Amino acid sequence: MLLIINLTVDMLLIGIIYFWTRQNDSDFIIFISLVFGFLIAIFSLIIIYFNKKTSTLLEKRIQKLEYVSKELVKAERLSTIGELSGRFSHELRNPLAIIQVSIENLKRLYSADEIQLNNLKE
């Protein structure tokens, strides 16, 4: 029987522990068992490496998604403020336009009265 344990610390293989019991096996079978055990240990290290790389990439994407989400909320707020200011300016301009037209009419009316007054004086 063969038992192989790989010892890793932060993606660094620091050792491999293996145990086997001798049961009338030839040296070749023991050698093959050790080779396969080492291969299993190395492949498990590769799996750990890709798992860590994938989790790091996932964390970066989550952070980017959170940032983009916050920026979207800011953009929506600014859009709402712009829409409200547009409505406010529209509501403010309507009465001002009426006042401006009234002032122009009064100017025309008074200028016509002044012309008539000047004609009467002559």
pLDDT tens digits along 26-85: 667 777 777 787 788 778 878 888 888 999 999 999 999 999 999 999 999 999 888 888
Q: How far apart are CA 29 and CA 2, in angstroms?
A: 11
Are 1 and 21 contacting, i.e. CB atoms less than 8 angstroms apart?
yes
Would you give the distance in Å from CA 43 to the centre of its chain? Answer: 34
Are 45 and 33 contacting, i.e. CB atoms less than 8 angstroms apart?
no
Residue ranges per domain, the chain? 2-59
Would you give the distance in Å from CA 37 to the centre of its chain? Answer: 44
Would you give the distance in Å from CA 74 to the centre of its chain? Answer: 12
